[in-house]
Amino acid sequence: MNEMELNILTPEKRFFNGKVSELVIKGEGGYMGILPGHTPLVMAMIPHVATLKIDNESKQIFISTGLLSLANDKIDIVCEACEWPKDIDKIRAEKSKERAEERLKEKKDNLDMKRAQYSLIRALARLQIAE
């Protein structure tokens, strides 16, 4: 089976280092699938639920904003946060969602609105896969 080496780093730790046969991630342009032999690429990622195929089994993870670099079947992801579904604090994510929705109702300056939008996107992605 063709595989790629995937390395995911957060400021706190090495989240994942192993072989995957497929990776589905999300950038500003939407979701994108990466298979072995993909052309080299560097892209910014937005908060989303990513899918990794490990040993023919699909696993989902939450990935916050970050950068992805791909060359020669080696993928490096550096992101603000990354979590397995079992590690997501559902109550915290729900509170974050509520705070973001309140801030969006206030309609302050553009920077605050953008931050609130990203907070809402992060919270919704976490809640989507939280166990």
Specify whether 80 is located in the same domain as 22: yes
Looking at residue 78, its pLDDT comes to 98
Total domains in the chain come to 2
For range 71-95, the mean pLDDT:
93
Residues 90, 92, 95: CA angle, nearest 5 degrees? 110
Specify whether 77 is located in the same domain as 48: yes
Q: pLDDT grade, residue 111 (50/70/90)?
A: low
What is the CATH number for 105?
1.20.5
pTM of the model: 0.83
pLDDT at residue 131 above 80? Answer: no
10 vs 109 pLDDT, higher one: 10
Residues comprising the chain, all counted: 131
Specify whether 25 is located in the same domain as 78: yes
Q: Do 20 and 3 form a contact (C-beta atoms < 8 A)?
A: yes
For residue range 10-68, list pLDDT tens digits in order: 999 999 999 999 999 999 899 999 999 999 999 999 999 999 999 999 999 999 999 99
Looking at residue 1, its pLDDT comes to 62
Specify whether 71 is located in the same domain as 95: no
Specify whether 74 is located in the same domain as 20: yes
119 vs 18 pLDDT, higher one: 18
Show the domain range for 111: 89-129
CA gap 71, 1 in Å, rounded: 19
| CB neighbour burial string for 93-111, b if at least 16 within 10 angstroms, e if fewer | beebbeebeebeeeeeeee
